[in-house]
Amino acid sequence: MTSLASKLAPESIKKLIPYQSARRIGGSGRLWLNANELEHGVHYSDHAVDYNRYPDFLPHDIAAAYQQYCQTDNPTVAVRGADEAIDLLIRTFCQPGTDKIIISSPTYAMYEFCADAFAVETIDVPLIGANFSLNSEQIIARAPEAKIIFLCSPNNPTGNLLSRTDIVAILEGTQQDALVVVDEAYIEFELAETVVGLINKYPNLVVIRTLSKAFGLAAVRCGFILAAQDVMDYILKLIPPYPMPDCSAQIVQEALSEKGIEMAMSNTQNVVDTKQHFIAAIQNIEWIELIYPSSTNFVLIRTHQDATLFNYLKEHGVVTRNQHHEPALRNCVRITIGSPESMQEVAELINQYTISPL
């Protein structure tokens, strides 16, 4: 029986022979003169580290450390951030000009952006209700038209976790039709809710992760894709020859050590505590209509329509994200949770803000 992955992968990808980089070809020898590298490292600073050799073609140590962190033995690959994962998945399974993806707006803009850039059409099945739930019935109904369904849980910019029951219903209902990619960029803020454990049961599930959020390594550019082997086989055909710079890989190894994970988890708890204090400090303001429940390191605030919170904060040097352009998020501002000091300052500013009478 053909797997879903081989049903979905375009012929051009099936025929593709992965680029044979020098590291991928490997070999044994004494003098390595096969990759047009400099044979000796050049030290541009006092840090005496050699970077003259190309890195591992698939950084296995990092993948193994991440599998251990996720308590899974599902195939795992490190990429340069979750954004690269999104792009790679679309380019692996979609054919430009023909194929479609499904998203549920309002959600992370990169799914549609990467699809647009690759001439792949986006079908939007918007989140429904005041708590931004998945419209699972409609997603399942439209799945035969699509190659990939992107679900973001917890969702950016709404901050809510998607219902596990809905995700499972979608996985069940689309097994013959589409890959379901669950972007868990913020999952450390609700770690028990991860769907990684469902990959064995649902081979159409792909999970995207990142070290940019709870692990605090946005500048290092490291994300992960976890998927069933037949899905991963196609992804690995297209993955760039050297997906992770050595200097990033070294930092990631440390972050994924026992001590590193402990630090990230304790820091995550601090962010959650700061978020609760921040919410408590602003929740009784009458021009704030709603502070949405947040399973992330940000809060989404809906204000009275006359309040221009985004501009007010900007005038005071506080840069937040205006979500007003999204029809479902009129008068909404997304505020990242910073340090306790920063959030106290922002809470004080917000408390000082008064809407001028009309």
Ligand X SMILES: Cc1ncc(COP(=O)(O)O)c(C=O)c1O
Residues in contact with ligand X by CB under 6 A are: 81-83, 108, 152, 156, 183, 185, 210, 212, 218, 223
Our CB check for ligand X shows the closer of 125 and 152 to be 152
| Shortest Å, Cβ 59 to ligand X | 15
- Counting Cβ atoms within 10 Å, is residue 104 exposed (0-12), middle (13-18) or buried (19+)? buried
Our CB check for ligand X shows the closer of 22 and 214 to be 214
| Shortest Å, Cβ 288 to ligand X | 23
Our CB check for ligand X shows the closer of 139 and 182 to be 182
| Shortest Å, Cβ 111 to ligand X | 9
CA dist 151 → 9, 61, 155 (Å): 20, 28, 8
| Amino acid at the residue 154 | P
| Shortest Å, Cβ 86 to ligand X | 7
| Shortest Å, Cβ 352 to ligand X | 29
Our CB check for ligand X shows the closer of 156 and 274 to be 156
What does the buried/exposed string (b/e) look like for 310-342 if buried means 16 or more CB atoms within 10 Å of the residue's CB?
A: bebbeeeebebebbeeeeebebbbbbbbbeeee
Integer Cα distance of 154 and 163 in angstroms: 10
| Shortest Å, Cβ 103 to ligand X | 11
Residue 288 backbone phi and psi in degrees, to 5 = -90, 120
In this structure, the strands spanning 321-322 and 298-303 are unpaired
Our CB check for ligand X shows the closer of 62 and 307 to be 62
| Shortest Å, Cβ 14 to ligand X | 28
Residue 136 backbone phi and psi in degrees, to 5 = -65, -35
Longest dimension (CA), the chain: 80
Our CB check for ligand X shows the closer of 22 and 205 to be 205
Residues in contact with 47: Cβ distance below 8 Å, sequence separation at least 6, in sequence order: none
Integer Cα distance of 243 and 59 in angstroms: 8
Residue 303 backbone phi and psi in degrees, to 5 = -105, 170
Our CB check for ligand X shows the closer of 115 and 185 to be 185
Our CB check for ligand X shows the closer of 210 and 331 to be 210
User: Quick one: which of 309, 334, 234 has its CA closest to 16?
Assistant: 234
| Shortest Å, Cβ 99 to ligand X | 21
DSSP three-state, residue 357: coil
DSSP three-state, residue 196: helix
Residue nearest ligand X, Cβ-based: 81
Apex 131 CA angle, 264 and 104, nearest 5: 80
